[in-house]
Amino acid sequence: MADDRQGIFAAEDPFALLRNWLEEAGRSEPNDPVAMALATVDATGLPNVRTVLLKGIADGGLTFYTNYQSRKAGELDNSGKAAVLFHWKSLRRQVRARGTVSRQDPAASDAYFASRDLGSRLGAWASQQSRPLQDRATLEARVAEMAARFGENPPRPPHWGGYVLRPDCLEFWADGANRLHDRFEWVRDGDSWRVTRLNP
C-alpha cells in the first residue's frame, strides 16, 4: 500500500501528531483548544457525553481532571472505557481516541491540584458535582465554608483527581473539498501502530 500520509498527517506516533494539531489549534481556536468531548456508557449501555479539558499527554495516556463522585466518574470506574473527541472548527479538523481508562496515580493528581488557582481548588472542595443543588447561594456558602476551613492551602480533596485514557485507537480527520475528507486511523499493534487510510 502506498504511504501517502504526508503534510499535516506526518508523524512517528499518534501522540506526536495530536501534539502538533493541538499546537496549531492553540494558535487558531478562540477558546479552549484542549477541550474534548468525553463519551462514557452507563450500566445499561446508554452513552453519555460532556466536555472536559485535556491536561496532559504522557506515556501513551491522555489526562483530564474531575470529581470522582460525578456521574462521569461512576461511568468511567464502572466500565473502565471511554472515548474522546476534539473538533477544532478553525482548522476544520477532528481527532478521536478510544480505549481504557483508569484513575491517575494520586501523587500526580496532588501535583496538578496544587498548580490550580486558589478559587478553583476551593471550588473542587465545594462542588458536589452532578448532584442536585438547592440554589446558587448554597454553593457560594459552601465555598466560603471551605475557604474558612482551609485558608490559602487546601489539599487535594479525596473526591477529586485525574483519569488517564490509554487509547488503542485514534483517528485523525481533516476537511477536504466535496466532502472528500482525509482520515487516518492508528490502531495499536503491540508496541507499534498500524495506520490505515479510511474512506471519507
Pick from 114, 199, 200, 197: nearest CA to 160: 114
Residue 82 near residue 99, CB atoms below 8 Å? yes
Query: Residue 134, annotated ligand binder?
Result: no
- Interface of this chain with ligand PMP, residues 110 to 139, rule: CB under 6 A: 116, 120
69-89 burial, b at 16+ Cβ within 10 Å, e below that, comes to: bbbbbbbbeeeeebbbbbebe
Looking at the Cβ atoms of 64 and 186, the one nearer to ligand FMN is 64
53 near ligand PMP (CB under 6 A): yes
- Interface of this chain with ligand FMN, residues 97 to 156, rule: CB under 6 A: 129-130
Phi (first) and psi of residue 141, to 5 degrees: -65, -35
Q: Which of 103, 166, 179, 197 is catalytic?
A: 179
For residue 51 the three cell numbers come to 466536555
What is the set of active-site residues?
179
Binding-site residue set for FMN: 50-55, 65-66, 71-72, 94, 129-130, 173, 183
Binding region for ligand FMN (CB under 6 A): 32, 35, 48, 50-53, 64-67, 70-72, 129-130
